[in-house]
């Protein structure tokens, strides 16, 4: 994303709207407003804003002149945060965007933990933290690339299964799955500012 796109998406309500369209598919301003507890007019304004910046598009051939359907654009929007940290015009938008992304990830985890899943699904999901790695930047980048390769392989396999002639959507136990990969460096103990409470 460039600075203009970043400023276009960096709004809490716009990011929630885009999240719903990505996760649950097309919807109208009325439907989104009902789900989000927002006024339809307000949602419509934000939908047009998202469309102007290329994040969503109208689903043609569906709806009426008064009720338009919108869908998320099927492209990846990659954000290199280092490009904007020194840009005073984009710094505020970057802060909002990153905060909302982290909040969305947190809310999805909380939703999973508080929902009532049967044993098979509960045992299949995982919340894992690995903390005994020490990697150089190129090693961390390679790890992330390898993880994405594994995800892509499973995505392709799932698509093939759905397109199989004998596939029956009514009998499959497949569900939408959220994968949240969070891998980032952590400062060593002696590098962190402030008193180390662990020594007291």
Tokens of 171: 């009998």
Q: What is the CATH number of the domain that holds 16?
A: 1.10.10.10
For residue 78, the model assigns a pLDDT of 78
Residue 117 DSSP code: -
Tokens read off for 62: 């569906």
Phi, psi dihedrals of residue 63, rounded to the nearest 5°:
90, -170
Residue 199, in any domain of the structure: no
Decide if 32 is inside a domain: yes
In this structure, the answer to whether residues 42 and 93 fall within a common structural domain is yes
Judge whether 56 lies within some domain: yes
Kindly state whether residues 28 and 55 are assigned to the same domain: yes
Note the helical H segments in the chain. Answer: 3-9, 12-24, 29-36, 40-52, 88-114, 119-124, 137-163
Residues 77 and 111 in one domain: yes
Number of domains in the chain: 2
pLDDT tens digit at each of 200 positions of the chain:
888 889 899 999 999 999 999 999 999 999 999 999 999 999 999 999 999 999 999 998 887 778 899 999 987 777 777 777 778 778 888 899 999 999 999 999 999 999 999 999 999 999 999 989 999 999 999 999 999 999 999 999 888 777 765 655 545 788 999 999 888 898 888 888 876 555 54
Please tell me the predicted confidence (pLDDT) of residue 14: 97
CA 79 distance to own-chain centroid = 12
Task: Show the domain range for 31.
Answer: 1-117
Tokens of 70: 């919108």
Contacts (Cβ under 8 Å, ≥6 apart) of 165: none
In a domain, 196, yes or no: no
User: Are 7 and 99 in the same domain?
Assistant: yes
Both structure tokens of 57: 């598009």
Nearest-Å Rg of the Cα atoms of the chain is 21
Tell me the C-alpha distance between 66 and 129, whole Å: 48
Q: Is residue 61 domain-shared with residue 108, that is, in the same domain?
A: yes
Instruction: From 85, 100, 117, give the residue that closes a domain.
Output: 117
Q: Is residue 197 part of a domain?
A: no
pLDDT of res. 200? 44
Query: In 3-state terms, what secondary structure has residue 68?
Result: strand
Same domain, 113 and 143: no
Last residue in a domain, options 99, 117, 135? 117
Q: Are residues 27 and 110 in the same domain?
A: yes
Structure tokens at 73: 């654009």
Co-location of 107 and 157 in the same domain: no
Q: Per-residue DSSP letters for 24-58? A: H--EEHHHHHHHHT--HHHHHHHHHHHHHTTSEEE
Place of tokens 């497949």: 174
| Same domain? 77 vs 103 | yes
- Are 140 and 68 contained in the same domain? no
**Residues 87 and 113 both lie in one domain:** yes
Q: How far is CA 80 from the centre of its chain?
A: 15
The pLDDT score that the predictor gives to residue 166 is 60
Residues 6 and 105 in one domain: yes
Within-domain flag for 200: no
Residue 19 lies in a domain: yes
């Amino acid at each position: 994303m460039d600075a203009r796109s970043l400023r276009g998406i960096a709004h809490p309500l716009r990011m929630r709207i885009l999240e719903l369209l990505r996760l649950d598919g097309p919807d109208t301003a009325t439907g989104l407003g009902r789900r989000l507890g927002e006024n339809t007019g307000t949602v419509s304004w934000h939908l047009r804003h998202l469309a102007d910046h290329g994040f969503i598009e109208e689903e043609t051939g569906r709806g009426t002149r008064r009720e338009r359907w919108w869908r998320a654009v099927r492209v990846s929007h990659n954000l290199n945060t280092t490009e904007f940290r020194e840009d005073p015009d984009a710094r505020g938008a970057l802060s909002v965007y990153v905060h909302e992304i982290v909040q969305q990830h947190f809310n999805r985890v909380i939703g999973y933990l508080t929902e009532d899943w049967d044993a098979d699904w509960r045992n299949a999901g995982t919340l894992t933290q690995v903390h005994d790695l020490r990697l150089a930047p190129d090693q961390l980048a390679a790890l992330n690339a390898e993880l994405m390769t594994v995800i892509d392989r499973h995505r392709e396999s799932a698509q093939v299964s759905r397109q199989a002639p004998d596939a029956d959507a009514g009998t499959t136990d497949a569900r939408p799955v959220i994968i949240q990969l969070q891998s980032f460096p952590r400062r060593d103990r002696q590098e962190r500012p402030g008193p180390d409470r662990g020594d007291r």
